[in-house]
Structure 1
Amino acid sequence: MKRRLLVPFLMGQRRDGLARVCELDRHDWQVVQVDECQATAIADRGEQMRSMGKVYGRLATAVRDIVRAGDVPVSISGDCVSSLGMLGGLQQAGRPPERILWLDAHGDFHTWNTSQTRYLGGMPLAMLVGRPDRRRDNRDAIGALRAAVGVTPFPEQRIVLSDARDLDPGEAEAVAASGLVHCEISDILRHLSPAERLYVHFDTDVIDAEAQMPALKYHVKAGPSLADMGALFRALRGYNIVAVSVSAWHEEKDVENRAALACLELLRELEPEPQPVREPVKEPQKEPQKEHAPAPRRLRENAYAFQKY
């Protein structure tokens, strides 16, 4: 059974608007609450990293408990760094994935050395695989974040990145030189095995659907459509998916909840189709056989007399 988690945070900062998902979906959602993290904007980078560690550590605990109960966690969060909490929870439960499918218009493979903006949201995949990443003062802030969450690096050779059509200078070279499998959406299934434990991470900006989903973050043209993603998710129904995480949209710009509803519909595509209920086959009723009444005694005696003479 799938258990749903809502993480109303963006890079350690509260985003309560994401809670609308709970009202739009028929499933029950467990909201990951962190009472000590209430700020909606954090200017200090160190404080933000500490807040992220608390949020994703709490997510890891929730994921661990769900997996130990025999269920599959599905999360929606404000950013891709939440993948640290998802992977950490799977590892802590003793059920780590054997393969990760990372769906994103971007590479998310920056480090402090390659990033010009130092935006943490461009680094989560590099964080996930444990890329060496020290600041100028030689502080391993990313390593400290991983330790706070309780996650260990995942082998980059076991990650399929698609389609990552918008790579920055420095990042593109890092992806090309890595062990990541970087492919188009149409080639994904060639690199997956249905029997492997698969963790699917899905950033909604991988979709090129600005008209249908105007609240998407960092829209990039020339990507897969909603229909393309729906077809991929239906193809994955028979795979051994152990976790799904979604990086969300600009919830404050989501007019008529169009992005939220489209995302929820895509998640439903991962669900197996309900099997039709078959009516039990009714056995045709047999007509009761008529019992023949014994011949009257006089007739039997007459027949005997006829045979005698």
Structure 2
Amino acid sequence: MNDSQAVHVIGAPLDLGAGCRGCRMGPDAIRCAGLLTRLRQQGRMVQDLGDVTLTEREKLSADSAGGHPKAKYIDEIVRFNRRLHRKTAASVEAGAIPLILGGDHSIAAGTIAGAARHKRIGVLWFDAHGDLNTVQTSPSGNVHGMPLAAMLGYGYPALKHIGGKRPKVRPEHLVLIGTRSLDTGEQELIQRAGIRMYASRELHRLGMSEVVRQALAAAGEGTDGIHVSFDLDGLDPGEAPGVGTPVSAGMRLTEALEAMRVIAASGLLVSAEFVEVNPALDLRSKTAHAAVELICSLLGSDTMEEKSR
């Protein structure tokens, strides 16, 4: 990443993968919280490419959770992610940084596949959850708990084959940060694949800056750069109340901002997504504003210092 790179903002207003509706309004909530103005004020060339959407016919078919009994709305989610994959890949190919605004975390299947189409990428996954379930292990059938497994090459064929049949990221190039709620199947996959994870206790023991430096060293080794996937439920619910699956004892916003600054300074950023902002659950747009702060820090703005001046 360099300061002259354009940023392509892509909205991904999908909430079929989540257990509750509302995060389809997330992209507009983040925009309304001042994202584009803030990025332009810090000197970024920003182009809003609009939203990837389902067609009216697909919206009608999504009224019932068909497709697979253990993967709700999977057909519609796959179609959406195929479009998102193409749009993300085109942005990377054009030399820009695609910045995707979710939507639920099932959109990561499209974004990671798109970023990996022309580059070999590492992934830093900031999330309370692993999202490493498959149709065999998911206790809920909600697809927002499955995209990372799919990108590693596990799970529902149509989902994992978006952008081609090869896995989009290798286990050694994936790092989970802030994870604190895992299902049994996810724990087994992490151990079996040797995935590096920094749970809340490691964040407190090592400090966020050191965690991210170690994560960048692992995910960046032998790759062309890093994709950042940030689920706002990675933050503590007191910092981000507007999420559908809050988990206590999460990251403080100041810690997460420090993580974004360390990534920005590395120069390794290829693409990023910020997901699961649900305005229907938010308090005075607190979560949407947190997303804006994180994005601006990732793209080079030292927001906390600016606010203190």
- The TM-score with structure 1 as length reference comes to 0.76
1:38 and 1:213 mapped to 2: Cα distance? 29
1:15 and 1:238 mapped to 2: Cα distance? 30
- CA drift of 1:48 comes to 1.8
CA deviation profile, 1:232-271 (whole Å, cap 9, x unmatched): 1111112210000122222222232221111111110112
**Partner AA of 1:225 in structure 2:** R
Report what 1:9 is aligned to: 14
CA deviation profile, 1:18-52 (whole Å, cap 9, x unmatched): 32333332525322233243347432234821211
* Aligned 1:131-280 pairs, distance under 5 A: 131=154, 133=155, 142-148=156-162, 150=164, 152-153=166-167, 154-183=169-198, 184-185=202-203, 186=208, 187-193=211-217, 196=223, 197-208=225-236, 210-239=237-266, 240-273=268-301
CA contact (8 A) 2:24 2:102 kept: no
- CA drift of 1:114 comes to 2.4
1:260 and 1:151 mapped to 2: Cα distance? 35
Residues 1:229 and 1:148: Cα distance change in structure 2 (over 3 Å): closer
The Cα RMSD (Å) is: 2.4
2:235 and 2:86 mapped to 1: Cα distance? 30
Secondary structure of the residue aligned to 1:255 is coil
Gaps of 5+ in 2: 1-5, 37-46, 303-309
1:121 and 1:273 mapped to 2: Cα distance? 30
1:14 and 1:218 mapped to 2: Cα distance? 12
CA contact (8 A) 1:57 1:149 kept: yes
1:76 and 1:128 mapped to 2: Cα distance? 19
Residues 1:144 and 1:170: Cα distance change in structure 2 (over 3 Å): closer
User: Which has the larger Rg?
Assistant: 1
Secondary structure of the residue aligned to 1:22 is helix
2:99 and 2:287 mapped to 1: Cα distance? 17
Q: Name whichever of 256-265 and 173-182 sits farther off.
A: 173-182
1:257 and 1:151 mapped to 2: Cα distance? 39
1:266 and 1:84 mapped to 2: Cα distance? 22
Secondary structure of the residue aligned to 1:152 is coil
CA contact (8 A) 2:216 2:263 kept: no
CA deviation profile, 1:109-151 (whole Å, cap 9, x unmatched): 12233233333222221111012x4xxxxxxxx1122335546
Report what 1:123 is aligned to: 146
- CA drift of 1:14 comes to 8.7
- The TM-score with structure 2 as length reference comes to 0.76
1:106 and 1:260 mapped to 2: Cα distance? 20
Residues 1:33 and 1:269: Cα distance change in structure 2 (over 3 Å): same
**Partner AA of 2:52 in structure 1:** V
Query: Which residue among 48, 55, 59 is the counterpart of 1:35?
Result: 55
Say if 2:137 is the partner of 1:114. yes
With a CA cutoff of 8 Å and minimum separation of 6, indicate the structure with the bigger relative contact order.
2
**Partner AA of 1:214 in structure 2:** P
Query: Which residue among 11, 21, 31 is the counterpart of 1:22?
Result: 31
CA deviation profile, 1:271-301 (whole Å, cap 9, x unmatched): 2249xxxxxxxxxxxxxxxxxxxxxxxxxxx
1:252 and 1:14 mapped to 2: Cα distance? 6
Residues 1:14 and 1:207: Cα distance change in structure 2 (over 3 Å): closer
**Partner AA of 1:35 in structure 2:** T
Gaps of 5+ in 1: 134-141, 275-309
1:167 and 1:223 mapped to 2: Cα distance? 14
- CA drift of 1:168 comes to 2.1
Report what 1:137 is aligned to: none
Percent identity, aligned pairs only, is 24
**Partner AA of 1:251 in structure 2:** P
Q: How many pairs align?
A: 262
